[in-house]
Amino acid sequence: MTLKNLMLTGGINHDFEDASQALSEVLAESGFESTIYHDFDAGLDAIAEGPDLVTMFALRWRMLDDDKYIPHRKAWAYEISDTHRELLSNYIATGGGLLGLHTSAICFDTWPEWQQLLGAKWVWGESFHPEPAEMEIINLNLEHPVTQRCSTFTLIDELYHNIEPVDDAEPLFQAISAEDGSTQTLAWSNSFGKGRSIYSALAHDRLSIKAPGHSAFLQTAATWCAGESL
């Protein structure tokens, strides 16, 4: 059975064109047919067609946090409309699945409910990441149906620090920071109404997405979010 995945992507400082294609290839191995949207309004409109999964793999927000973003605002600044907020919220509340990766925790900065849907958010002034480096994913949550099917893995990625989850989000795995020795939780599962979501701070690029172990996690996470049996 083919599952429909609607992927929203695009933004600065990442090769989203290549990374979204890599993610599409990985998820195809688990039966997902991905339609990739770089046009956010068109992609959000398409949620009305009822995909099995919405994947948020983008960096789209108002870009008002630092003057360094001024040159990029015309191309990439974005604020989600009330209509699209309601459409996405209702989609998940009525049983839709949401997979959010990496910079998706920064998106939709004027929409507080986005954190409730996704399960976590980037906090300006507190969240940060060093340059990409090798890390080992540890402390898999063996009580969760997704991570109990995964193994510890190693990859090269940006290690996000101080991501803020919602109260009811369930941690899935962690990594130890080479920057300060702290243990950082990097992924959570969440529910909103009848829908399921998983946010993972990983997936900076194709290299990360295709890493053995990580690709298996992404496939299992997408299947679970879509409400399918594992």
Query: Does the predicted TM-score (pTM) go above 0.75?
Result: yes
Residue whose pair of structure tokens reads 């108002």 in the numeric block? 62
Q: At 182, which amino acid appears?
A: S
Whole-angstrom distance, CA of residue 60 vs CA of residue 175: 26
Q: State residue 23's pLDDT score.
A: 99
Q: Is 152 helix (H, G, I), strand (E, B) or coil?
A: coil
Q: Is 197 helix (H, G, I), strand (E, B) or coil?
A: strand
Tell me: the pLDDT tens digits for 161-195? 999 999 999 999 999 988 888 999 999 999 999 99
Q: Is 129 helix (H, G, I), strand (E, B) or coil?
A: coil
Q: What is the DSSP string of 6-66?
A: EEEEEESSS-HHHHHHHHHHHHHTTTEEEEEESSHHHHHHGGGG--SEEEEEEE-S---S-
Contact 119, 188 (CB under 8 A): yes
**pLDDT over 90, % of the chain:** 95
Q: Superfamily for 3-120+189-225?
A: Response regulator (3.40.50.2300)
Q: State residue 60's pLDDT score.
A: 96
Q: At 140, which amino acid appears?
A: L
Tell me: the pLDDT tens digits for 78-95? 999 999 999 999 999 999
Phi, psi dihedral angles at 219 (to 5 degrees): -65, -45
**Residue ranges of the chain whose pLDDT lies below 70:** none
Contact 95, 47 (CB under 8 A): no
Q: State residue 178's pLDDT score.
A: 82
